[in-house]
Amino acid sequence: MKQTNILLAFALLACIGYVPLCPTASADGPLQATHDITVVSYYFGNYHPGDPRNVKLKGADWSEWELVKAARPRFPGHHQPNVPLWGYQDESDPKVMAQKIDAAADHGIDAFLFDWYYYDDGPFLDRPIDRGFLQAANHRRMKFAFMWANHDWIDIQPYHRGAPRKVLYHGQVTPNTFSKICDHVIRDYFQHPSYWKIDGKPYFSVYDLTRLLANFGSVAATRTALDSFRAKAREAGFPGLHLNAVVWGQAILPGEQKPADPQKLVRDLGFDSVTSYVWIHHVALPDLQTDYNYVRDRYFKYWDQAEQTYEVPYYPNVTMGWDPSPRAAQEDAYGNFGYPFTNTVSGNTPERFREALAKTKQRLLSRPGGPRILNINCWNEWTEGSYLEPDQVHGMKYLEVVRDVFGPNRRLP
């Protein structure tokens, strides 16, 4: 009886993350402790010169760092510009990316989930992946995967209030392009040992379900295309493909449309999991400076709803902040007029970010059997005010918070 009580006590401690007991299947298959949680961070790669599309539109040396540099306070209490502690680096440089990888791995980030772009005429913003991450000497320290950012690319760098919403690249692609995308990612990325897999299946996320449907014209045709993608993955030697759908309740970017019935669509298209990109996809911001905890608490209510709504696992999100004012022309009056003129999130201190992470961890551990995966927005959304990279005000504190809550990188198999 005494031995039983001791085991029960250790089991209780393990369930709240203090003792590595009670192993369970992790996101990547092998048995791990219940306190092991896979932490993934979105990565937006537009902070490097030389991308062919940007060169054509903006010039050889342009990147979104120019918007970060130009940002100014737009209302009382507004903190801009946010200045990167490491400087305005070229993320496509393998040495620069190696610094990011080391910082991420040392502070508990298991994988970068790159915002990945591919249009009918080819890729966009792939240099941070191909030249940066994959050429970095230490890239094996962490995993990477893709969220296909299949939305329209609008001319918003910067956007002048009241100007026509000019679409530069259409997110909708032809079925033939989609087939090329499947072949490309399987051949050039999924085979890489650092690509993140769940139960051996490469993880591939889709941002805009409405745009995905438009590629093929019907649910049935879209399901056929996704099934073909799965079949190609199996032919390449994988046990299958883990398809993830980003779902949201309210649009942010111009032209976004929420599916009429996302629950049915996720089921009909056979997605393996759902997730979120950012809290404000689910929480309206009532004030120009909306309190961080206000947004957090309402997102947690959405998380409860999502777990009941979808028949597949929901991977929660923790958002660091929200302030797209660097993308709004600095000479225009600022207000809630439509992206990038939107209300912002305030009070997102490292301490409050820690509380959000800790609450998320507690919830994940309370779900017996998992899954125990979360994503963070974002590693480097400097022009949307949501970043883990160190700045000159907080230094490494946001990364230190991640490490304090989750421990260092778990080196996923």
Q: What pLDDT, in 10s, does the model give residues 201-239? A: 999 999 999 999 999 999 999 999 999 999 999 999 999
Q: Kindly state the average pLDDT of the residues 134-149.
A: 98
Q: Given a cut of 50, is residue 90 above it in pLDDT?
A: yes
Q: Given a cut of 90, is residue 260 above it in pLDDT?
A: no
Contact (CB, 8 A) for 267 and 227: no
Domain locations along the chain: 37-406
Q: What pLDDT, in 10s, does the model give residues 99-141? A: 999 999 999 999 999 999 999 999 999 999 999 999 999 999 9
Spatial separation of the C-alpha atoms in residues 40 and 37, rounded to whole Å: 10
Cα–Cα separations (whole angstroms), residue 311 to 62, 265, 305, 308, 361:
44, 11, 12, 8, 22
The reported pLDDT for the residue numbered 375 is 98
* Class at the top of the CATH hierarchy for domain 37-406: alpha beta
Q: Given a cut of 90, is residue 344 above it in pLDDT?
A: yes
Residue 412 pLDDT level (bands cut at 50, 70, 90): low
Residue 2 pLDDT level (bands cut at 50, 70, 90): very low
Q: Given a cut of 60, is residue 32 above it in pLDDT?
A: no
Smallest Cα–Cα separation from 144: which of 100, 107, 183, 177?
Answer: 100
Spatial separation of the C-alpha atoms in residues 174 and 167, rounded to whole Å: 17
